[in-house]
Amino acid sequence: MHSVTAFWLSLFIVIQLFSGLMWTDVWGGMANRFVAFTGSDGPVGDQPWEAFAFPKSTIPTKDVAHVPWAAENLPVPKSSTNGVPSLSVENVIEIVKNNHVDSDYKIAFPKDKTGVFTVYLDPADVYPNRPMPWTQQTLHIDQYTGKVLANFGWKDYGILGKIVSLGIAFHQGEFGLLSQIFMLFLMFGIIMIAVTGYVMWWKRRPKGKLGAPALPEDFKMLKGVAVIVLVLSFSSLWWVFLF
């Protein structure tokens, strides 16, 4: 049971681990620097690996609405104050419809006379009928003229941004009910691998002993293994600082 379960779930466990590592400082920072090194721009947000796709703004979109992470640092434009009344919600909805934004979007209203309507769809915030990750979209709309000042969606992601977005969606079970059930079984599978490994050790250990390996009589091979480990460790550190 231990080996069979581990064999069939190994690929998905690796994907689960790597997609989660993108939220960490070390792996996320490496991906961040890799994007800069290769020029394969990805979307920018709060995570360590999100860096170079957009210019900095004194008013990022995340300050006006809880938008998808890819649009969090998208600069908020200003509406043109020309003395006409602000658009109605009905007008905004019509503009959103014309720009083919998926349903279940939200609208953040302007905070002042130069503010904009911010329309956004973050699939992670939609429940229970959660749309697919590639439907996320953010619009900034001039509150007077109705002009779409910014329209940022899946098509604007870099290749790395798309890969990581899909990985995060897989990690969180955002591909519908079946993916959530699969992630539940994957969790039980990981627990089963750990428990059955302990049971195997308990049954095979010598009676009254831990069953730990004895010290080797010849340390020459052990020294060689130590050298290999050190070389790999320094290579990993070099890779971290390079990327």
Cβ(70)–Cβ(152) below 8 Å: yes
- Which of 156, 176, 203 terminates a domain? The answer is 156
- Which of 127, 156, 185 terminates a domain? The answer is 156
CA 172 to chain centre: 9
- Examine the domain organization and report whether 69 and 46 are in the same domain: no
Across 91-95, 100-104, 220-224, the highest mean pLDDT is recorded for 91-95
pLDDT greater than 60 at residue 23: yes
DSSP states of 125-149: G--SSPPPGGG-EEEEEETTT--EE
Model confidence pLDDT, tens digit, residues 197-238: 888 888 888 777 777 767 667 666 677 777 888 887 776 665
Average pLDDT, the chain: 77
- Examine the domain organization and report whether 68 and 137 are in the same domain: yes
CA distances from 220 to 6, 60, 227 (A): 33, 59, 11
- Examine the domain organization and report whether 2 and 39 are in the same domain: yes
pLDDT greater than 60 at residue 40: no
- Examine the domain organization and report whether 79 and 151 are in the same domain: yes
Q: Which CATH number is 71's domain given?
A: 3.10.450
Cβ(101)–Cβ(92) below 8 Å: no
Burial class of 138 by CB neighbour count within 10 A (0 to 12, 13 to 18, 19+): buried
pLDDT score at 44: 47
- Examine the domain organization and report whether 64 and 149 are in the same domain: yes
Model confidence pLDDT, tens digit, residues 118-135: 999 988 787 777 888 888
- Examine the domain organization and report whether 49 and 162 are in the same domain: yes
Model confidence pLDDT, tens digit, residues 179-197: 888 889 998 989 998 898 8
- Examine the domain organization and report whether 70 and 188 are in the same domain: no
- Examine the domain organization and report whether 128 and 173 are in the same domain: no
pLDDT greater than 60 at residue 37: yes
Give all strands of the β-sheet with 116-121 in edge-to-edge order: 106-108, 116-121, 137-142, 148-153
- Examine the domain organization and report whether 14 and 31 are in the same domain: yes
SS3 103: coil
The mean-pLDDT minimum among 23-27, 97-101, 109-113 falls in 23-27
CA 99 to chain centre: 25
- Examine the domain organization and report whether 170 and 102 are in the same domain: no
pLDDT greater than 80 at residue 243: no
- Which of 156, 173, 189 terminates a domain? The answer is 156
What is the domain extent for residue 162? Answer: 1-53+158-212+219-243
- Examine the domain organization and report whether 190 and 231 are in the same domain: yes
- Examine the domain organization and report whether 181 and 64 are in the same domain: no
SS3 120: strand
Q: How many domains does the chain have?
A: 2
Q: Within 13 Å, how many C-alpha atoms sit on residue 153's CB side?
A: 17
